[in-house]
């Protein structure tokens, strides 16, 4: 069985995976299937259990309970070197005493593979650094080391490639570039990538499927668009971008829509976007979905009236407005500057409108601040 | 014309201020020169007197000769004493390095009952006065009916060298990123291969440093050796004994040669390192 584990291929299946350290539960009864060939991201703040999950998949940490399957093979208790899984470590972990060539050849040589030279040269070409083969890791820049760490892992053609915050040490510009490159390389080599990150933008740019983790459990899983447009919890709504969450009561039905009463004003939203369990709810709308109009002008869709512009921030591509509503809540609105002027001024009395299909509804007993204070630097990258 | 105008408009700095500024800039250099002079006068003295045409006693300069350097074993017993010291040094270094490295890995890498106690105990031989350790070792050997001589000296040297090896190697292990070993395991290297291909090469400079330190400690040791070597003469013992009737110039030759050998090793090491970095 041990011999067979290195040949295992197929979907990665985590079943009721749990890891505790004394009283602390890092990963809590986590079940998850990652399809073969996908680019999967585990997204969450530090301490949410995503890295522990990754280390258990790699075999560097032993699960307290649960099992890990690759295809039909149970790899839960096998050693890291018996798994067809390679990792790109957070700080790359290149061997400082070996040349770049020998770093990349390390895995191939351990498995006694032939044509090491050819394979290494091919992967060096893939990451566009063939001229660095004879250098030592310390002579390389951060971005180059990152690519070599990737090359060292993918040269082995693993069933699964794990990336632990692979771009965390790079500056913003390089990070953007590497995000695109990583995605391209994943398509090119067709391996399953499991990517761990706390950066929502990074996860959304690269992954086909994102699992948002919170306190050792998966909060919600889906495509980036699913998670963004139809979050099921306040945590997801706040952690991925920003949300306006308005307290309300579900007051009726209208075909496929629900009618929700928000402080006396009625709006509608699609039934399939409601995650409320009773009549009490929070209606959620992303700031860029709102449209502002002056009082007594024509509006379409859902409308909330009685707002006052409290603050205007012009930020180039868009203008951000803080609009104070009659019930005291400040809503955030992003308007594209496609007509070149900021048409509203501080103090203007306005209506806010949006398409009903852009609304989602959360449970009324949610903590509306969950997940919002975790990643303050996310905003300034928008 | 413009030149003259300029000269006239630029105020000259008074000479006193200039001297002050010069001293301010060069004080650290002046201090360094004094410090190095202080450190190297004894070495220079030893080196100079290795060329002394001295005869019996090497205290007064009697004329220049290359004779001592051409025949460093000229003085009675000097080379057999040196040979003994080198033999003891190599044996003690060999065993102390192996044992010390293993202890360093045990303490540095594994958690076990009594780890912190072992960690503390390993410092004891370093902290014990040599005179006490030498005397107790001798009485220990006598209790077990082992006569002082070559092997008791080797054993005694291993005892005090181990501590230094452990401390040196442990520092290197502590600075080793555990993720490198995890990366090796992740890349299909089993425990043994990970140790051989990643851990050992990375700790090797620490082990080499520890071995050099152990050798120089052993080679240099007089007090513990004096208790446990019996009639065997080592190089430090030879110097000590002959100090009473005048140290032969050959001792200066050997001392200077060792100094320059060590210096060459350091310089070569530095050059190799600098090349590696580039």
Q: Is A218 in the same domain as A293? A: no
Structure tokens at A373: 């204070």
Percentage, residues of chain A above pLDDT 70: 96
Distance from CA of A34 to the nearest CA of B (A): 20
List the single residue in A89, A90, A110 with the smallest CB-CB distance to B189.
A110
pLDDT for A283 equals 93
Number of A to B CB contacts under 8 A, please give it: 61
Structure tokens at A382: 């928008």
Residue A267 forms beta bridges with which residues?
Answer: A260
Q: Is A127 in the same domain as A269? A: no
Distance from CA of B176 to the nearest CA of A (A): 11
* Residue A43 three-state SS: strand
Q: Is A330 in the same domain as A363? A: yes
Is B202–A96 a contact, with Cβ atoms under 8 angstroms apart? yes
pLDDT digits (tens, 9 = 90+) for A190-243: 889 999 999 888 899 889 999 999 989 999 999 999 999 999 999 999 888 889
pLDDT (mean) for A130-159 = 91
Rounded CA separation A195/A43 (Å)? 8
Is A81–B179 a contact, with Cβ atoms under 8 angstroms apart? no
Rounded CA separation A212/A210 (Å)? 6
Mutation site for B-interface testing, chosen from A81, A150, A169 by largest number of B Cβ within 10 Å:
A81
Mutation site for A-interface testing, chosen from B181, B182, B186 by largest number of A Cβ within 10 Å:
B186
Distance from CA of B183 to the nearest CA of A (A): 7
pLDDT for B7 equals 57
The answer to whether residue A176 sits within a structural domain is yes
User: For chain A, how many structural domains are there in total?
Assistant: 2
Residue A361 forms beta bridges with which residues?
Answer: A274, A283
The answer to whether residue A53 sits within a structural domain is yes
| Residues of chain B with C-beta less than 8 angstroms from the C-beta of A95 | 180, 183-184, 198, 202
pLDDT for A82 equals 92
List the single residue in A60, A91, A106 with the smallest CB-CB distance to B187.
A106
| Residues of chain A with C-beta less than 8 angstroms from the C-beta of B177 | 91, 93
By CA distance, what is A154's nearest residue in B?
B187
pLDDT band at A374 (very low <50, low <70, confident <90, very high): low
Q: Is A196 in the same domain as A256? A: no
Rounded CA separation A216/A18 (Å)? 8
The answer to whether residue A378 sits within a structural domain is no
Q: Is A38 in the same domain as A163? A: yes
By CA distance, what is A94's nearest residue in B?
B180
Burial profile A167-182: b = 16 or more Cβ within 10 angstroms, e = fewer: beebeeeebbebbebb
Is A60–B188 a contact, with Cβ atoms under 8 angstroms apart? no
Tell me the backbone φ, ψ of residue A338, rounded to 5 degrees: -80, -10
Is B188–A81 a contact, with Cβ atoms under 8 angstroms apart? yes
Per the document, the length of chain A is 382
Rounded CA separation A78/A80 (Å)? 7
Which residues of B touch chain A, with CB atoms under 8 Å apart? 177, 179-180, 182-190, 193, 197-198, 201-202, 276-277
End-to-end CA distance of chain A: give it in Å, rounded. Answer: 49
Instruction: Report which of A27, A1, A33 is spatially closest to residue A15, judged by C-alpha positions.
Output: A33
Structure tokens at A131: 């001229």
Which residues contact residue B70 at a Cβ distance below 8 angstroms, ignoring those fewer than 6 apart?
Answer: none
| Residues of chain A with C-beta less than 8 angstroms from the C-beta of B205 | none
Is B185–A81 a contact, with Cβ atoms under 8 angstroms apart? yes
Mutation site for A-interface testing, chosen from B178, B188, B203 by largest number of A Cβ within 10 Å:
B188
The answer to whether residue A236 sits within a structural domain is no
List chain B pLDDT tens, one digit each, 278 residues: 445 555 556 777 888 888 888 888 889 999 999 999 999 999 898 888 888 887 667 777 888 888 888 888 877 788 889 999 999 999 999 999 999 999 999 998 888 888 888 888 888 888 889 999 999 999 999 999 989 999 999 999 999 999 999 999 999 999 899 899 999 999 999 999 999 999 999 999 999 999 999 999 999 899 999 999 988 999 999 888 888 777 888 888 888 998 899 899 889 988 887 776 55
| Residues of chain A with C-beta less than 8 angstroms from the C-beta of B182 | 60, 80, 87, 89, 93
Q: Can you list the pairs that A11-15 forms with residues at least 24 positions away whose Cβ atoms lie under 8 Å?
A: A11/A35, A11/A36, A11/A70, A11/A71, A12/A57, A12/A68, A12/A69, A12/A70, A12/A160, A12/A192, A12/A194, A13/A68, A13/A69, A13/A70, A14/A53, A14/A57, A14/A66, A14/A67, A14/A68, A15/A66, A15/A67, A15/A68, A15/A69
Rounded CA separation B196/B194 (Å)? 6
pLDDT for B3 equals 53
Biggest CA–CA distance in chain B, Å, is 99
> Per-residue pLDDT for A379 more than 60?
no
Rounded CA separation A207/A199 (Å)? 12
List the single residue in A6, A89, A107 with the smallest CB-CB distance to B179.
A89
Is A138–B177 a contact, with Cβ atoms under 8 angstroms apart? no
Provide the residue ranges of all domains of chain B, joining segments of one domain with +. 12-75+248-278, 81-220
Q: Which top CATH class is B81-220?
A: mainly alpha
Tell me the backbone φ, ψ of residue A313, rounded to 5 degrees: -120, 115
| Residues of chain B with C-beta less than 8 angstroms from the C-beta of A106 | 184, 187, 189, 197
| Residues of chain B with C-beta less than 8 angstroms from the C-beta of A8 | none
pLDDT for A376 equals 41
Instruction: Decide: A342 and A314 in contact? Cβ < 8 Å.
Output: yes
Strands (E), A325-373: 330-336, 349-354, 360-363
Burial profile B213-251: b = 16 or more Cβ within 10 angstroms, e = fewer: bbbbbbbebeebbbbbbeebbbbbbbbeebeeeebbbbb
Residue with the larger pLDDT of the pair A314 and A99: A99
The answer to whether residue A380 sits within a structural domain is no
Distance from CA of A241 to the nearest CA of B (A): 33
Biggest CA–CA distance in chain A, Å, is 77
| Residues of chain B with C-beta less than 8 angstroms from the C-beta of A110 | 187-189, 193
The answer to whether residue A233 sits within a structural domain is no
For A14, the domain range is 2-226
Residue with the larger pLDDT of the pair A328 and B72: A328
The answer to whether residue A373 sits within a structural domain is no
Q: Is A63 in the same domain as A170? A: yes
Which 8-state DSSP code applies to residue A317? S
pLDDT band at A244 (very low <50, low <70, confident <90, very high): very high
Which residues of A touch chain B, with CB atoms under 8 Å apart? 6, 58-60, 79-81, 85-87, 89-91, 93-97, 106-107, 110-111, 136, 138, 152, 156
pLDDT for A196 equals 93
pLDDT (mean) for A250-273 = 90
Q: Is A34 in the same domain as A140? A: yes
pLDDT for B221 equals 92
Residue B64 forms beta bridges with which residues?
Answer: B52
| Residues of chain B with C-beta less than 8 angstroms from the C-beta of A111 | 188
Is B182–A85 a contact, with Cβ atoms under 8 angstroms apart? no
* The pairing of beta strand A217-222 with beta strand A73-74: unpaired
Instruction: Decide: B160 and B133 in contact? Cβ < 8 Å.
Output: yes
Q: Is A139 in the same domain as A268? A: no
* Region for A79 from its dihedrals, namely left if φ exceeds 0, alpha if ψ lies in -120 to 50, beta otherwise: beta
Q: What is the ipTM for the molecules in this complex?
A: 0.80
List the single residue in A89, A110, A152 with the smallest CB-CB distance to B193.
A110
Query: Which CATH number does the domain housing residue A198 bear?
Result: 3.40.50.300
By CA distance, what is A158's nearest residue in B?
B187
| Residues of chain A with C-beta less than 8 angstroms from the C-beta of B190 | 79, 81
| Last residue in a domain, options A226, A254, A288 | A226
pLDDT digits (tens, 9 = 90+) for A26-46: 999 999 999 998 999 999 988
Rounded CA separation B187/A106 (Å)? 7
Q: Is A56 in the same domain as A170? A: yes
Rounded CA separation A82/B68 (Å)? 65
pLDDT for B75 equals 76
pLDDT band at A380 (very low <50, low <70, confident <90, very high): very low
List the single residue in B186, B187, B201 with the smallest CB-CB distance to A97.
B201
Instruction: Report which of A317, A377, A314, A375 is spatially closest to residue A346, judged by C-alpha positions.
Output: A314
Query: Which CATH number does the domain housing residue A364 bear?
Result: 2.40.50.140
* The pairing of beta strand A265-270 with beta strand A257-262: antiparallel
Rounded CA separation A342/A319 (Å)? 7
Which 8-state DSSP code applies to residue B146? P
Instruction: Decide: B189 and B176 in contact? Cβ < 8 Å.
Output: no
Instruction: Report which of B3, B204, B236 is spatially closest to residue B104, judged by C-alpha positions.
Output: B204
> Per-residue pLDDT for A342 more than 70?
no
Rounded CA separation A54/A50 (Å)? 6
Q: Is A20 in the same domain as A103? A: yes
Instruction: Report which of A65, A47, A251, A60 is spatially closest to residue A162, judged by C-alpha positions.
Output: A60
Q: Is A275 in the same domain as A218? A: no
pLDDT for B242 equals 83
The answer to whether residue A92 sits within a structural domain is yes
């Amino acid at each position: 069985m041990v011999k067979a584990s290195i040949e295992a291929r197929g979907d990665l299946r985590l079943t009721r995976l749990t890891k505790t350290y004394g009283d602390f539960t890092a990963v809590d009864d986590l079940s998850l299937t990652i399809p073969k060939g996908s680019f999967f991201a585990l997204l969450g703040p530090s301490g949410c259990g995503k890295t522990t999950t990754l280390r258990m998949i790699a075999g560097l940490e032993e699960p307290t309970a649960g099992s890990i399957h690759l295809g039909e093979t149970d790899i839960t208790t096998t050693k890291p070197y018996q798994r067809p899984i390679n990792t790109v470590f957070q700080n790359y972990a290149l061997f400082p005493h070996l040349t770049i060539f020998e770093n990349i050849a390390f895995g191939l040589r351990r498995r006694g593979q032939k044509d090491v030279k050819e394979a290494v040269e091919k992967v060096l070409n893939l990451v566009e650094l063939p001229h660095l083969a004879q250098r030592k890791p310390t002579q390389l820049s951060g971005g180059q080391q990152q690519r070599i760490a990737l090359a060292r892992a993918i040269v082995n053609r693993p069933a699964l490639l794990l990336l632990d915050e692979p771009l965390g040490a790079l500056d913003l510009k390089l990070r953007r570039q590497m995000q695109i490159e990583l995605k391209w390389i994943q398509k090119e080599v067709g391996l399953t990538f499991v990517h761990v990150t706390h950066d929502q933008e990074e996860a959304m740019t690269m992954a086909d499927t994102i699992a948002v983790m919170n306190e050792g459990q998966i909060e919600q899983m889906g495509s980036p668009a699913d998670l963004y447009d139809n979050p099921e919890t306040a945590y997801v709504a706040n952690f991925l971008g920003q949300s306006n969450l308005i307290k309300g009561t579900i007051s009726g039905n209208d075909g496929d829509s629900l009618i929700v009463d928000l402080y006396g004003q009625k709006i509608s939203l699609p039934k399939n976007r409601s995650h409320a369990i009773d009549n009490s709810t929070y209606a959620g709308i992303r700031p860029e979905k709102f449209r502002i109009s002056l009082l007594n002008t024509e509006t379409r869709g859902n409308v909330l009236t009685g707002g006052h512009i409290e603050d205007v921030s012009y930020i180039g591509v868009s203008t951000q407005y803080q609009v104070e509503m009659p019930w005291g809540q400040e809503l955030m609105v992003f308007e594209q500057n496609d007509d070149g002027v900021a048409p509203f001024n501080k103090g203007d009395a306005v209506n806010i409108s949006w398409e009903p299909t852009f609304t989602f509804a959360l449970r009324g007993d949610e903590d509306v601040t969950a997940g919002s204070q975790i990643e303050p630097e996310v905003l300034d990258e928008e | 014309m413009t030149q003259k105008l300029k000269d006239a408009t630029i105020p000259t700095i008074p000479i006193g201020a200039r001297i002050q500024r010069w001293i301010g800039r060069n004080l650290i250099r002046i201090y360094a020169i004094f410090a190095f002079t202080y450190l190297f006068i004894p070495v220079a003295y030893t080196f100079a007197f290795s060329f002394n045409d001295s005869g019996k006693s090497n205290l007064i300069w009697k004329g220049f000769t290359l004779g001592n350097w051409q025949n460093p074993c000229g003085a009675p017993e000097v080379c057999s004493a040196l040979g003994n010291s080198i033999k003891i040094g190599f044996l003690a270094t060999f065993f102390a390095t192996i044992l010390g490295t293993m202890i360093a890995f045990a303490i540095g890498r594994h958690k076990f009952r009594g780890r912190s106690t072992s960690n503390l105990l390993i410092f004891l031989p370093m902290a014990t006065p040599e005179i006490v350790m030498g005397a107790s070792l001798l009485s220990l050997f006598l209790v077990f009916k082992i006569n002082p001589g070559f092997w008791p000296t080797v054993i005694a040297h291993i005892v005090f060298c181990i501590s230094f090896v452990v401390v040196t190697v442990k520092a290197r292990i502590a600075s080793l990123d555990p993720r490198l070993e995890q990366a090796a395991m992740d890349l299909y290297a089993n425990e043994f291969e990970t140790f051989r291909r990643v851990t050992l090469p990375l700790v090797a400079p620490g082990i080499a440093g520890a071995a050099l330190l152990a050798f120089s400690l052993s080679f240099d040791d007089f007090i513990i050796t004096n208790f446990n070597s019996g009639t065997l003469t080592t190089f430090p013992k030879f110097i000590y004994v002959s100090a009473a009737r005048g140290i032969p110039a050959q001792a200066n030759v050997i001392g200077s040669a060792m100094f320059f050998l060590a210096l060459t090793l350091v310089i070569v090491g530095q050059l190799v390192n600098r090349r590696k970095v580039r």
